Structure 1
Amino acid sequence: MKAENAKRDEIEQGEWNYRLVERAQQGDTEAFGELIERHRSKARGLAERITGDPHMADDIVQDALIRAFLHLGSLVDTSRFLPWFHRIVRNQANMRLRRGGPHGREMPFTSLGAGDGARVDWDDLDSILHHLARTAADATLSDLDPAESLLRKEVYETIHALLHCLTPKEREIFRAYFFRQLSPEEIASMYRMSTGSIYTYIHRTRQKLRKEHIRVSLGLVPDKGGCGLTKHNVLQLPDWQAHSTVKTTFVDSVRRMLATVGDYREPAALMGISGFAFRMKISNQTTFADSIYIFDWRGALRTFLEGLGYQITILCGQLSDSPIPLLGAVERFPVVLPIEESILPFIRKYIDLGKPVLYFDTMPAKPYVHEWSVIYGYDDERRIVYVTDQMLPEGRTLSYDDVADNPVRFAAGIDGILQKAAEARPSGESELRQQAERTVRFAVDYARHGCDYHPMTAYLRYTSGLAAYDRWMGHLRSSHVIPNRYGIGQLSAVYAETKRYASLYLRSAPFEGEAKRLTLLASDAYEQAAEAMGQLSLCVPFVRSSEMLPPEMREICAGYLNQAKEFETAAIGYMEKALTFI
């Protein structure tokens, strides 16, 4: 009986793994996370058995997880996930051992290989450190070779020239590890620290040295590690009540920027003018929340703020060696370097002018994965910036390293008011009516024809406008698609709010006569669409969960979506008629 129960449990576990793998292959990060939590301990045990080093095993598993996530789409037989993942772990462990040579473990770069000095790649810090450690280990032998002694001297001088970017404690641990060839265990005993902390210091030190090596290679002023002139500047943001925030954080953050420079705008007005009150987009794969963020960031921001009368400067990029979230929106950005000089001066410039910086944050508080925010201060001594966070009214801080290492770089600052600001920022009834007409025309065009921004990457496809409802309902009713529950929660919460703001904006539109009557009817229809979407949000709240929606709940959700679609379709029809009277 026990054997039968065990067999049944094994089959059920296998089926659940199979489902999780399929969802993860579709890009469901929650499913991948649960999948890994199930198998992480076994993978770590395997890595530790191969290497004999628990600390190295943690690094190996982390590397294996990244590779598994990036290449999960290449796994043809999803039932073979565990052997496939274990093979990645073995490959990573064996690679580490090959680098460790006869030691069979990751010694302090002593045994990264057995090349001669001529093989040193002077543009690659890892190659330099490899040669440094090797020559230190072979010092007694190489003393017989004058050329090797000279080369070793040059390597030491190269590394010493970079050490000024480290703190005193980091320098001491670095010298003990690389120059004196002490093991992390011996260094931990010297400083009365845990071995794990020493590994963290070594890892952080290598990152700092790599960045400093880039600086030196580019001829930039070396980082003095905070020893030079330091500054501290934190702007006073206007009071911001939690109930006044907008879930579309792109608009909410722009609103904060404007308020800080004395330009207070109602959220409904900004949601309407920006067009975000009327946007709706759904991934063609499943109900991912990423569709909220897939638009032309540079074009949308520039058009939005120039329409309000402001001139802006945008700094954007993507890191070359990092997995890039929201690739569909970022793929057109240039590749940038992970160094402070490429981003911190930009932030300091605008903060010192009394203007906060729009910033895309990939490290916000839960439940968000990434969101728009505002950087409103910096502290050179503590090496931090102050950033807003929708989940933390008091805000929080990011280290300079966090900002430089953000795989998605997007920052923007307000330079000033355009010369034609009086025309761009309407104040009279006629100008306000023209602006409202432009917004209504955008809403109708977007609903009928969708968004004109499309990712270049072939597998990233999205449906927008009224057609997004059909795509969403299709995901819920399809037997071949596993809806992303977390995504549904965020999509429904955000779109319920955007449709409510669409209603508020249309209600205040300064039209007259029949155009006004039709616009008010459209406003009422949007309010009904918002109500239906709000019911969907109650059914699937925006919380982290790997549970799948049962079929009956999926049909209920599709029903609410169909109601919302009918009301929004009616609203678009009213606006089309209103345009004929304007």
Structure 2
Amino acid sequence: MIEEQRVDRDLVEKARSGDAESFGELVRRHRSLMLGWADRVVRNRTKAEDVVQDALLQTLKKIGSLDQPDKFVPWLRTLVRNQALMSIRGGSSKREVAFGDGWGDKENEAEREIGRRRSKDDVDDPQRAAIGRAAVVDVRKLLKRLSERERAVIEAHLIAGMPVQEVARMLDMTSGAVYTNVSRARKKLSEARYEDEIERYVSARRKAGKPTVRLVERARDCHRFAGAYNTMASMMLVTLATSGHRNVSLTDVMGATGHAFRIQVTADIGLSGPYAYDWKETMREGYRRLGYSVSLFGGAGALIEHPDDLIDALDDLFDSLEKGVPIVAWNVNNAEFGMIAGFDDDKRSWAVTDTSAADKKLAYSRLGRLREDTEWFAAVPGRRIDADRADLLSSLFAQTARHTRGVGREDGKLQSSYSLEGETAYRTWIRLLDRQSLRDPLGAAYNAAVLYEARKHATAYLRGMLESGYLSALCPSAVPAVTHAQRQYARVAACWEAVAKLFPLPYGADPTAPGPADRAARLLERACEAELAAADALEEAAGLISGNRNRAKRNFYKNK
């Protein structure tokens, strides 16, 4: 703690003397703290980012007036808190007004007024004049990313500290237009931060002699799986194929991840239901059951809120691509799982692929940020690992049984706050169909197609396990239970096939029409019954496999 304070004090002293690098280091050391302080006041992560951005400009402006460098952190906390309180009082619902001609004259007037204020401040505070001549250069570089209008507003309001109403009068604007330009400028400055961090990272790669271009040609094979509705499983399969694991099928991946046995819906059977599960846990367990480790970044509902969130993942992403192994990522082009198949440092872009695009370019800085509120997720396959086959299979069967019964919790954590699973999901389908209130034809068609595909893979996965002799070699006593489960899933698949034919993609029969709705509801009642019977059988098999494993261990140690 004392050492941290000493470093801060030294950096503050240098920053007060005009050392821009020291000021930048102070920002890097304390930005996460500033974000936390702001978030506790505004209770919104995005607004907290805006507060911190404004507070940094104020820090640059006022650090020369800090008399006690060893009190930097309390001083900074007060500055951030005041900025956060001002943001709450300032409001956010403002009307944008168009600008007329003669903007350049107004900007010059603004510059002159700001200059007068700065000149007075510099006379009163020589130390501020010193920091202004050096560290302001970095802020000026960012401000050059803005339009003339935005730059004049930012300099007047955030740097010179002029009230919004005064800025509006000086620039012949409405207060609403000032707020609009501040909002736009903040977004541009935020984007500039990401781009600048990327530039520093790429520069470091060049100095280290890293490759500047790479494309995993074999990743183009993913188009062979474009017909799979489950894009996570199909993209995982491509990463395994490029890693040399070529004897793995889509059915194997669907089974190992649990996707073959999952039913997950929203309350209205909407399009997002099939993706409403724990991405990280599903992919971690899926790769583990297939014999691989994996590095995971982000997750369902996770957002990139700071450049460090992206930068922290880049070493793993680039290393994997340099080894010829692509990366599974969310929303590289559409709202689905896709793949990063290459990079080009000169163009600062990834080569991305999903079911609708191949080798499309995506800026480095836009990964995980393609659209507003884009969820951030990337999975980097790792090394081959040894695994206990009995443990992995029993855990998969037990997990499936819990999911089917709609327990919804694993390790005490709710899998999704807005999705319904297992038997509850079936009951939701049936209730909406019986009431003729399932009003989303596309949602009904898509969910039915996803579930038909999944149960076909469940049937094939268990059948392959039985016919190959894998299960009889692992635990002969579990064969009857798994055989029963396989037959039940075949019944389930037949029911979902019929439902999918009633509601084919992109649009089928109206799910609120009495005939198709009643027919689908009766089919799903039978499917639910069979699914619960399959869950009972898999739970029995899980216990037998686990017990057989434990006995084998005891005998092993007994005979040593």
Quickly name the TM-score band, shorter chain normalised.
Answer: 0.5 to 0.7
Q: Structure 1 pair 176/380, CA: closer, same or farther in 2 (3 Å)?
A: farther
Give identity over the alignment, percent: 18
Deviations 1:443-470 (A, max 9, x none): 3332234332599999944331233211
Q: Distance in 2 between matches of 1:227 and 1:206?
A: 30
SS of 2:329 mapped into structure 1: strand
Say whether residues 1:281 and 2:264 are aligned partners.
yes
Structural mapping, 1:254-333, within 5 Å: 254-264=236-246, 265-283=248-266, 285-316=267-298, 329-330=300-301
Task: Quote how far apart the aligned CAs of 1:360 are.
Answer: 0.9
* 1:136 pairs with one of 93, 96, 108: 108
Question: Does the aligned pair in 2 maintain the 1:360–1:371 contact within 8 Å?
Answer: yes
SS of 2:296 mapped into structure 1: strand
Structural mapping, 1:144-155, within 5 Å: 147=119
Say whether residues 1:566 and 2:529 are aligned partners.
yes
1:182 aligns to what?
A: none
Structure 1: gaps (5+ residues): 1-90, 98-104, 112-132, 180-201, 318-328, 365-369
Segment drifting more, 555-564 vs 240-249: 240-249
1:411 aligns to what?
A: 378
Q: What is the letter of the counterpart of residue 379 of structure 1?
A: D
Task: Quote how far apart the aligned CAs of 1:572 are.
Answer: 3.4
Q: Structure 1 pair 546/386, CA: closer, same or farther in 2 (3 Å)?
A: farther
* 1:464 pairs with one of 417, 421, 424: 421
Task: Quote how far apart the aligned CAs of 1:410 are.
Answer: 1.0
Task: Quote how far apart the aligned CAs of 1:92 are.
Answer: 9.5
1:34 aligns to what?
A: none
1:242 aligns to what?
A: 224
2:191 aligns to what?
A: 211
Q: Distance in 1 between matches of 2:239 and 2:479?
A: 32
Q: Which has the higher helix share?
A: 2
SS of 2:376 mapped into structure 1: strand
Q: Structure 1 pair 140/465, CA: closer, same or farther in 2 (3 Å)?
A: closer
Deviations 1:304-353 (A, max 9, x none): 22333322222217xxxxxxxxxxx426x784449864554543232123
Question: Does the aligned pair in 2 maintain the 1:143–1:149 contact within 8 Å?
Answer: no
* 1:451 pairs with one of 396, 408, 413: 408
Task: Quote how far apart the aligned CAs of 1:544 are.
Answer: 7.1
Q: Distance in 1 between matches of 2:409 and 2:349?
A: 38
Say whether residues 1:375 and 2:345 are aligned partners.
no
Say whether residues 1:487 and 2:443 are aligned partners.
yes
* 2:212 pairs with one of 231, 245, 254: 231
Q: Distance in 2 between matches of 1:108 and 1:237?
A: 55
SS of 2:229 mapped into structure 1: coil
Q: What is the letter of the counterpart of residue 455 of structure 2?
A: K
Question: Does the aligned pair in 1 maintain the 2:258–2:282 contact within 8 Å?
Answer: no
Deviations 1:281-312 (A, max 9, x none): 222x3112322222222222222223333222
Deviations 1:203-251 (A, max 9, x none): 99975543335787x9994988x99998211112253463585322222
Q: Considering only aligned residues, what root-mean-square deviation do their CA atoms show, in Å? A: 4.8
Q: Structure 1 pair 581/304, CA: closer, same or farther in 2 (3 Å)?
A: closer
Q: What is the letter of the counterpart of residue 399 of structure 1?
A: A
Structural mapping, 1:173-212, within 5 Å: 174=147, 207=187, 209-212=189-192
Q: Distance in 2 between matches of 1:235 and 1:532?
A: 40
1:355 aligns to what?
A: 325
Q: Distance in 2 between matches of 1:521 and 1:459?
A: 30
Q: Structure 1 pair 459/247, CA: closer, same or farther in 2 (3 Å)?
A: closer
Q: Distance in 1 between matches of 2:503 and 2:297?
A: 37
Q: Structure 1 pair 547/537, CA: closer, same or farther in 2 (3 Å)?
A: closer
Q: What is the letter of the counterpart of residue 375 of structure 2?
A: V
2:62 aligns to what?
A: none
Structural mapping, 1:70-109, within 5 Å: 95-97=95-97, 105-106=98-99
TM-score (norm 2): 0.60
Say whether residues 1:400 and 2:368 are aligned partners.
no
Question: Does the aligned pair in 2 maintain the 1:338–1:405 contact within 8 Å?
Answer: no
2:70 aligns to what?
A: none
Q: Distance in 1 between matches of 2:260 and 2:447?
A: 13
Structure 2: gaps (5+ residues): 1-90, 123-127, 153-181, 546-560
Task: Quote how far apart the aligned CAs of 1:528 are.
Answer: 2.5
Task: Quote how far apart the aligned CAs of 1:267 are.
Answer: 1.7
Q: What is the letter of the counterpart of residue 493 of structure 1?
A: A
Q: Distance in 1 between matches of 2:293 and 2:237?
A: 15
Q: What is the letter of the counterpart of residue 137 of structure 1?
A: E
